[in-house]
Structure 1
């Protein structure tokens, strides 16, 4: 929860895909630009501070994980990706940014849009 992590903003993922599809370089890995490598705890603290949110970040209960992953296929996939949060998961997207002429959305803008979308989804 305190390890640095490369967070990709969904519109930046789309921009990367659109830019890469126009290049004749199939089989190559393109990395989406990341505006932050903050930990989950750091992002939660920033969200609490900026948006007046409450709550705290805590690890999943292992017994709860075991039970839920047996019955919810999507959570099995989430659990399979957990290794990305157990140690630093940082990428360098500078080559993709240079060759595709793309860049990350500024972190405050990406966070604002993400929080607004989450709040809108809750209201529905």
Structure 2
């Protein structure tokens, strides 16, 4: 079974899509450390990896990481999205973990966020080199991931 980290939307945006810079002069609030490196995996790379491991007997019986570009901080992700969208980069603010805790009894998704927030508070880097070496799969270039995501969000009128 392939493993991934966060998957930027290449299709229709969801509530988990990265913040959309340039929409207002207000700050963009993020969970965790906006400067900690984080591996982001394109959903198309996940699909290609699933197809490859399902049809290659050499892949059976072990876990595979979907091909993933080098880790970037959330701040860099948002700056890249802003640059591609032709808008200014957002001011980034960190949501304090303590601010989330009072909502846990009332907002189950925030309670669950507490279990995975460590992925955004310190480096969370995925090594997919075994997938590339064994299956010949490489990640979609980062610039294509960003461009396609912005295009999808623009089509949904979530970025200017």
Structure number with the higher strand fraction is 2
Contact preservation (8 Å) 1:33, 1:93: yes
Matched, 1:47 2:85: no
How much is the aligned-residue C-alpha RMSD, in angstroms?
2.1
Aligned to 2:7: none
Uncovered stretches (5+) of structure 1, i.e. residues with no partner? none
- Counterpart pick for 1:96 among 122, 125, 131: 131
Within-5 A mapping of 1:1-124: 1-24=34-57, 25-54=59-88, 55-62=90-97, 64-122=99-157
Q: Deviations over 1:27-79 (max 9, x none)?
A: 41101111231100111122223323343222114454224443333333333
Question: 1:113 & 1:26 partners in 2: Cα distance?
Answer: 31
Q: TM-score, normalised by structure 1?
A: 0.82
CA distance 1:35–1:75, shift in 2 (3 Å): same
Moved more, 11-20 or 73-82: 73-82
Uncovered stretches (5+) of structure 2, i.e. residues with no partner? 1-33
Q: TM-score, normalised by structure 2?
A: 0.66
